[in-house]
């Protein structure tokens, strides 16, 4: 493991552009009694070394479920997840194996900080190192460097209840980084912060990515956050429907969206496009001048003249004759 020396921080090596995390055909089904909810429907993606990949999508789209699965917190119903330097699919690993491997692979950050209230900032950072079985000398060196690097060295002897929201977040990030992870996985990490504090934390994420060479997977609803990404994946209804660069506008996603063809060779037409076309259920597809053209079909010719309207009695369920006022079987009124 690295010891966070200044040479390693400020003299980056050339990126090998190798995958650091790979998700393949992730499906997640939640069951409540006899009711099944499919949160993810075959999601695949890859994150590369030092890349900042962000996930966007409406509430209920499956973003948080996906983040929890690739972080090893939740098992998928099916699919595979691979972490760099781990020789097997983590979905086939026990939670004990995952926790042990994650200590040196991924740092997890959420909206809520996980500081122990009766410990100082420095003690909180060191505690994570001790749980990871790092040597005491390494823990001391890394803790001091990180607290200075993240701008909270002067708060090292303070406890949680004396810190501002931004200081708590910085302390939480320091604790996350003490094990020298290869990637940070975060779900709405600035969602509970004001704009100014959130921007300062985003600046820190940029600094961590650039100076410490740590990749990032962030889940967000924020326009401000997405502008910091190298690449943005858009999730809707449990599948990845498109990819964006960082210059996207969350209210005008159709202007920057590159539709995604997934590993099942599916392509989803966004609901915003279908709404503008009055939600057709069928399309004719053609190739014209090297372009794919989809023509919406509102009345399928395959079913024309094949559907016959019938009226049934609401009481006995028998077929009623056209223009009948009463059912000839039970005498009930036909409505």
pLDDT band at 83 (very low <50, low <70, confident <90, very high): very high
pLDDT of residue 320: 78
Element (H, E) at 20: strand 19-32
Tell me how far apart the alpha carbons of residues 176 and 199 are, in angstroms, rounded to a whole number.
Answer: 19
pLDDT band at 335 (very low <50, low <70, confident <90, very high): low
Task: From residue 298, give the alpha-carbon distance in Å to each of 268, 280, 334.
Answer: 18, 5, 31
Would the pLDDT of 124 be above 60? yes
Chain-centroid distance, C-alpha 160: 29
pLDDT band at 16 (very low <50, low <70, confident <90, very high): low
Task: Give backbone dihedrals phi and psi of 302, rounded to 5 degrees, phi first.
Answer: -70, -20
List the domains of the chain with CATH numbers. Answer: 6-244 (3.40.50.300), 269-299 (no CATH), 305-335 (no CATH)
pLDDT band at 55 (very low <50, low <70, confident <90, very high): very high
- Tally Cβ neighbours within 10 Å of residue 302: 8
Read off the pTM: 0.79
**Tokens describing residue 211:** 């100076």
Lowest-confidence region among 116-120, 138-142, 318-322: 318-322
What is the tens place of the pLDDT at every residue in 319-332?
A: 877 777 788 877 77
Mean pLDDT of 133-160: 93
């Amino acid at each position: 493991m690295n010891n966070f020396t200044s040479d390693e921080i400020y003299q980056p090596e050339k990126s090998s552009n190798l995958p650091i995390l790979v998700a393949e055909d992730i499906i997640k089904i939640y069951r409540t009694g006899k009711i099944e909810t499919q949160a993810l429907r075959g999601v695949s993606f890859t994150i590369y070394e030092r890349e900042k990949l962000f996930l966007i999508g409406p509430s209920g789209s499956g973003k948080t479920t996906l983040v929890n699965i690739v972080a090893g917190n939740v098992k998928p119903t099916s699919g595979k997840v691979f972490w760099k330097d781990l020789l097997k699919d983590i979905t086939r690993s026990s939670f004990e194996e995952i926790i042990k491997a994650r200590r040196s692979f991924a740092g997890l950050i959420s909206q809520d900080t996980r500081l122990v209230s009766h410990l100082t900032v420095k003690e909180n950072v060191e505690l994570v190192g001790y749980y990871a079985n790092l040597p005491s000398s390494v823990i001391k060196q890394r803790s001091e460097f990180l607290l200075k690097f993240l701008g909270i060295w002067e708060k090292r002897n303070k406890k949680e209840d004396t810190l501002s929201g931004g200081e708590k977040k910085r302390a939480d990030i320091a604790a996350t980084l003490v094990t020298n992870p290869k990637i940070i996985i975060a779900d709405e990490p600035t969602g509970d912060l004001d704009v100014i504090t959130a921007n300062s934390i985003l600046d820190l994420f940029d600094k961590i990515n650039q100076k410490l060479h740590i990749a990032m997977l962030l889940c967000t609803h924020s326009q401000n956050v997405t502008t910091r990404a190298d690449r943005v994946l858009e999730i809707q209804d449990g599948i990845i429907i498109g990819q964006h660069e960082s210059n996207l506008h969350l209210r005008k996603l159709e202007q920057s969206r590159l539709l995604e063809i997934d590993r099942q060779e599916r392509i989803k037409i966004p609901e915003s496009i279908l709404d503008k076309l009055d939600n057709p259920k069928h399309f004719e597809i053609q190739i014209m001048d090297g372009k794919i053209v989809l023509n919406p079909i509102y009345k399928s010719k395959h079913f024309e003249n094949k559907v016959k309207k019938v009226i049934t009695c609401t009481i006995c369920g028998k077929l009623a004759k056209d223009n009948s006022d009463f059912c000839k079987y039970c005498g009930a009124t036909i409505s």
